[in-house]
Amino acid sequence: MDVIQQMIHGAGEVLAKLLLRREEAHELIVEQAATSKETGILIWSLLAAQDYNEAEKVLLKELRDNFDFDLYDIGVEFFNALDKLSDEELVAHGYSKERIDEGFERQFAVLKDKCGLKTN
């Protein structure tokens, strides 16, 4: 993760801890993530917080509800970042390499649907 993403994540976590409990912070941020840029920041923050399941959930919901290619690219980067993690790291946080493959497939299915392509 690059320095800017780490800074954004750090600032977001500090603010969330100061103002709200973590669960409430996640709910608030999800409600406010209206653009792909904001959604991308949320996804990378959740990734940095090792909340991989929530990050995937946010990504796929936003792709279905507010599809754009920038958000799709964020999803590709997200799943690639997860794929670089060890099996132990993923399992420790309730995730797996198989879930990464399934996530890529779900994301591609949304792309095909939004672009009117046939699914096999």
The answer as to whether 16 is a domain residue is: yes
Q: What is the mean pLDDT of the chain?
A: 80
11-29 tens-digit pLDDT: 555 555 545 555 555 665 5
Model confidence, pTM: 0.69
Q: What is the pLDDT of residue 117?
A: 77
How many domains does the chain divide into? 1
The answer as to whether 70 is a domain residue is: yes
The answer as to whether 76 is a domain residue is: yes
The answer as to whether 52 is a domain residue is: yes
User: Once rounded to an integer, what is the mean pLDDT over residues 62-90?
Assistant: 92
The answer as to whether 65 is a domain residue is: yes
Please, are residues 40 and 81 in contact by the beta-carbon 8 Å criterion?
no
Percent of the chain with pLDDT over 70: 69
The answer as to whether 7 is a domain residue is: yes
The answer as to whether 120 is a domain residue is: no
The answer as to whether 71 is a domain residue is: yes
Domain containing residue 56: 3-115
